[in-house]
Amino acid sequence: MKFSWNHKSTLYGRDFSLTFKDLKDALNKKSEPDTLPQKPFIAIKLDRNSSKTIIINLFRAVANNYCLRLTPETFPQGKNIKEDNFLLHHSVDKSPPSFIVQTGGTTGSSKQILRLQNTWIRSFKINRKKWQISDSDSYGVLGDLTHSISLYGLMEGLYLGSDVNLLSEWLPKSQLANISDREISILYATPIQLQLLIRAYEIHQIKPIPTLRLIIVGGAKLSATQTKKLPKLFPKAEIAEFYGTAETSFITVTSPSTPQGSVGKVYEGVTIRISNDSGEALPNGEIGDIEVTSPYLFEGYIFDDKISLNQNDCFQTGERGYLDDQGNLFLKGRRDRMISIHDINIHPEEVENYLQSLPGVEVAYVYPVSDKFNVNHLHACLFYDSIKPNKNEIAGLCRNELGNNLTPKSFKLISDKPPLLLSGKLDLIALQNELEQGRW
């Protein structure tokens, strides 16, 4: 199976539209001799001024059975498509249709992920049935196509016969206008992208948009405040949050019956295992490492133009959490962000999630600082917009709700916008660098 463009789909960008017939005509045109490199690989440069060309090149790569990647990197002058030399573990002629995405790079450098196209196509079909997607639906994609959730939304909509609207080139106010005017019914987004829409809705007093029926949220968990405000902006929209990674695709998805704080139950075909440090399975309710067995797993990582294959059927996500007796998954945080305070393991994400539920706090970042006795203490950066939080009030609320160990020793109040990755996630590395350089 390979990606395809359904004849019923039309793609809309800021200044273009592209139908199946347009695409077919473009692909039938003879390419310049140096347009396509030798197989197996094509890197397609993202350029905001030529979105139409990008999509045509993407499907040209699919039609010719190239392994493809979208990239913002600059290539040598005069080359929009370029070959990267690395060794595929499949033979070039018999290689199944594949492509490359990258991890978000929130806590470290991004990794290049090799995927088979059919790992996404399987879930396209599942989602069509799960959310009753039809050719009368219209997709909206908020993010940059180098981020896997945005690319996924684009390819799913075109594959299933829905119209797709690329919205990343507009500011939030104009994004809302497009969602309304084009009667977009399905939206793929991250929580921070949705927060920008909420802010535009409140500042510009925009009317609620009733045409949106489904918001599929990935990349992070919605805050309690976002969950409360989104129905005011999109009163008829079901909010489906999914937990997954670039390596795994969907792991869990929420539903209207999902308990508060959970990221939902397993996605169709997926199995979750919670294990301890010795690799032993833990019973429901106990916190451990989250491992996944799934038909949607990646093929391997690409390092120095070579593939490091994923040899394990069970993939370790790097996250910690637990399952309840009903099969709902609850995340505690990433293993590589876990902090030891007074011999107690603490996940800063727990504190960040609580802080982001408080009035005025849009984004929270919690980090450790060691004192002269080498004892860790939590500190926090709070990004706010219009309402400046009160440090003393927040500290008191934290102590009452979380206890002394999870209450940050200090709070930095920041009115600037937080640094974000192309994925729309908080850029923790850039944020930490700013702190170390004394900007805040």
Between the CA of residue 234 and those of 131, 211, 215, what are the distances in Å?
A: 17, 8, 9
Strands (E), 221-303: 238-245, 249-253, 265-266, 271-275, 288-293, 300-303
Measured in Å, how far apart are the chain's first and last C-alpha atoms? 50
Length of the chain: 440
CA atoms within 13 A on the CB side of 401: 15
CA atoms within 13 A on the CB side of 49: 1
- Percent of the residues in the chain that have a pLDDT greater than 70, as a whole number: 88
SS (HEC) of 281-305: ECCCCCCEEEEEECCCCCCEEEECC
Write down the pLDDT at residue 94: 60
Closest CA to 319 of 281, 353, 272, 362: 272
Contacts from 179-182 at CB under 8 Å and sequence distance 24+?
A: 179/140, 179/209, 179/211, 179/212, 180/207, 180/209, 180/211, 182/12, 182/138, 182/140
DSSP label at 356?
T
Task: Judge whether residue 370 has pLDDT over 70.
Answer: yes
Tokens of 371: 């004192």
Tens of pLDDT, residue by residue over 225-280, are: 889 999 999 999 999 999 999 999 999 999 999 999 899 999 999 999 999 989 89
Tens of pLDDT, residue by residue over 373-400, are: 788 899 999 999 778 999 999 999 999 9
Tens of pLDDT, residue by residue over 303-313, are: 766 667 666 67
How high does pLDDT run on average in the chain?
88
Write down the pLDDT at residue 146: 84
pTM for this prediction: 0.85
Q: What are phi and psi of 12, to 5 degrees?
A: -120, 130
Tens of pLDDT, residue by residue over 282-325, are: 999 999 999 999 999 998 888 766 667 666 678 999 999 999 99
Write down the pLDDT at residue 154: 98
Q: Which SS3 state, helix, strand or coil, does residue 33 take?
A: coil
Q: Evaluate whether 220 touches 349 at the Cβ level (below 8 Å).
A: no
Burial (CB < 10 A; 0-12, 13-18, 19+), residue 194, is: buried
Write down the pLDDT at residue 33: 45
Task: Band the pLDDT of 82: cuts 50, 70, 90.
Answer: very low
Q: Evaluate whether 393 touches 401 at the Cβ level (below 8 Å).
A: no
Tokens of 376: 């860790």
Q: Which range, 72-86, 99-113, 152-166, 376-390, is most confident? A: 152-166
Task: Band the pLDDT of 27: cuts 50, 70, 90.
Answer: very high
Taking residues 103-124, what's their average pLDDT?
84
